[in-house]
Structure 1
């Protein structure tokens, strides 16, 4: 698998910490935040970043504002393909605001900015037809359009509606789910999807898709028509910030999948990518070489030597 497009939001993350518990203070005291920091973020580049750390070269598809150039340089240096990121000079790059308390509960806000123009970018206008598209959270109009594009062009796609489930109606979500290669959600997002569609996990895999549900410290599950895999988390040395863990997981999973690894190994590679992410503040501040990743992986997981393929397949898939 050579040509992967990751479509989704591109944003600056404003990460804040709250020195207490929301459940004790919300609506009763001021939610003053400490340790404010600004990081590069957005679902698409977050996924592409962890994918690139393992030697992949997926292309991000999305729109950004006139303040994006330093971010582009950083992504280029990380090995992310930015050739399909288009700058909108009349607006600013989207911004994501998240405050995390001592229990790792989060309150989030989002300013779409230039992301609102992303529906102007069409897959059919790309230099070549991709082998796989990841449809991650974006402007809802764009998410709906990406599903239609992939289905009409017969391009396999990963469907990752995540936080956009609340903004999509049931018919739109069903269309995205029913034609996908994979659907990826966390346990809370799956409960929202279940509320909207009334579909169980078995109902979803019976449509021919594979379902991946992450569940924080409890690990993840992968459902297919004939199997149910349970994969534990990879133990973290320290948990500094849970923001972006799901995107890092997707980046690792996607990289292993592009190299035709087993679903179990895809899940475990994703689990370690997520752990690297939570050990740092920000969604693109974790770094490792492929060799370092493999060595750490083998401390807790067994790959029977399969991960050596990462050493021999840089910049593919």
Structure 2
């Protein structure tokens, strides 16, 4: 199964200020703010939704094609992804902009001041999927993950025109997309990924009912946080899969991306919706237990053992032979 994952590729620059932002604010000068905070911690992490999904798929033994736009500063990140099984040959490198960056400073009270630099991501709208399909000998599924909004719409339109099956994952961009754009991204999707909040937001933006959405997609995959995942569709019975018990909650960032990676692994190996969701929930839990979206390392025996303890020996027996970790 040849899968292309389109979407954002970024780095996260996370800083910690050993004080409180509010202590630096002068009440009668809030219309003339000019502040600088001396931070004592900085972590630079690899991120971006498409990159996180592709990393998870590669870590499970797949070779997904990552499709997105980056800057000339991508070399180290590219080497990391390729070492973890990701095909980066369809990543566009901008000659004018840096790779997208999320910069966030957190104070002792957990208040945050953040900025997002889209950078090269704005050029993703110029990427055509046909050359990717030609290079791979076809595309069985295209994941349209959060990205430059125009790129998301164009990728979806090209999938329809060329007959590529696609998975719609508007998630983080739902709040900024127009109702018509959201409808365009969802209509005809083989799979629609949202969490519970995003499901409500999607219905509010489009004016559709749940039944309207199910009329337009193959399967609607809704992640439920600690309660696991629910999968609904016209052509199959509802599927509900609980989440495994986590060892600790280290960092929730990227958990949804990891679920998608595991779910797509299951689809690739024709494991069915329930087993695919079980792999997704397990990978999401492992990510939750790790600081950083791409910092986990998988062990085949441990992964299979946790599957067996959570979902039963039969599930482990079906999933374990497909693992390439």
Common fold by TM > 0.5: yes
Contact 1:150 1:157 in 2 (8 A): yes
- Give the corresponding residue for 1:51: 57
1:310 aligns with 2:322: yes
User: Contact (CA 8 Å) 2:125, 2:154: kept in 1 or not?
Assistant: yes
- The answer to whether structure 1 residue 9 and structure 2 residue 12 are counterparts is no
Closer, same or farther in 2 for the Cα pair 1:237/1:106, shift >3 Å?
Answer: farther
- What is the aligned partner in structure 2 of residue 185 from structure 1? 194
User: Residue deviations 1:154-208, cap 9 Å, x none?
Assistant: 0101100011112221122112212100000111111111111122333211224
User: Deviation of residue 209 (structure 1)?
Assistant: 2.2
Q: CA deviation at 1:98?
A: 5.1
Matched residue SS, 2:174: helix
Q: CA deviation at 1:305?
A: 1.4
Cα separation, partners in 2 of 1:19 and 1:197, compared to 1, 3 Å: farther
Displacement of 1:105 in angstroms is 10
Separation of aligned partners in 1, 2:191 and 2:41: 37
Residue 69 of structure 1 is matched in structure 2 by 75
Tell me which residue corresponds to 1:285. Answer: 295
- Aligned partners of 1:106, 1:240: CA distance in 2, in Å? 18
Matched, 1:123 2:133: no
Residues 1:87 and 2:87 aligned together: no
Give the superposed CA RMSD. 2.9
Q: Find the residue that maps to 1:167 and give its secondary structure.
A: coil
- CA distance in 1 between counterparts of 2:252 and 2:42 reads 15
Offset at residue 290 of structure 1 (A): 3.1
Contact kept, 8 Å, 2:167 with 2:193, in 1: the verdict is: yes
> Within 2, Cα distance between the matches of 1:106 and 1:187?
24
- Rounded to whole Å, the distance in 1 between the matches of 2:5 and 2:127 is 13
Larger RCO (CA under 8 A, 6+ residues apart): 1
Q: What is aligned with 2:164? A: 155
Aligned pairs for 1:183-222 (under 5 A) are 183-222=192-231
Larger Rg: 2
Q: Comparing 32-41 with 290-299, which one deviates more in the overlay?
A: 32-41
Give 1:100 shift: 7.5
1:262 aligns with 2:268: no
**1:175 aligned onto 2:187:** no
5+ residue gaps in structure 1? none
Contact 1:132 1:157 in 2 (8 A): yes
- Candidates 236, 255, 258, aligned match of 2:246: 236
Distance 1:53 1:122 in 2: 26
Number of equivalent positions: 310
Structure 2 residue runs without a partner (length 5+): 28-34
Query: How far apart are the structure 2 equivalents of 1:294 and 1:103?
Result: 40
1:34-68 C-alpha deviation (Å, 9 max, x unpaired)? 75411011011100111111111101001111111
C-alpha spacing 1:134/1:28, structure 2 compared with 1 (3 Å): farther
Change (3 A) 1:101 1:228: farther
Q: Using a 3 Å threshold, how does the CA distance of structure 1 residues 87 and 118 change in structure 2: closer, same or farther?
A: same
After TM superposition, the structure 1 stretch with the greater mean CA deviation from structure 2, 108-117 or 49-58, is: 108-117
Q: Aligned-pair distance for 1:291?
A: 3.5
Q: How far, CA to CA, are the matches of 2:182 and 2:107 in structure 1?
A: 31
* 3-state SS of 2:216 partner: coil
Q: Write out per-residue CA displacement over residues 82-134 of structure 1, whole angstroms, 9 at most, x where no aligned residue.
A: 11112113211001245689999988642111111111210112224311100
Q: Is the 8 A contact 1:201 1:223 kept in 2?
A: no
Moved more, 145-154 or 9-18: 9-18
The alpha-carbon distance between structure 1 residues 280 and 20, as it changes in their structure 2 partners (threshold 3 A), is farther
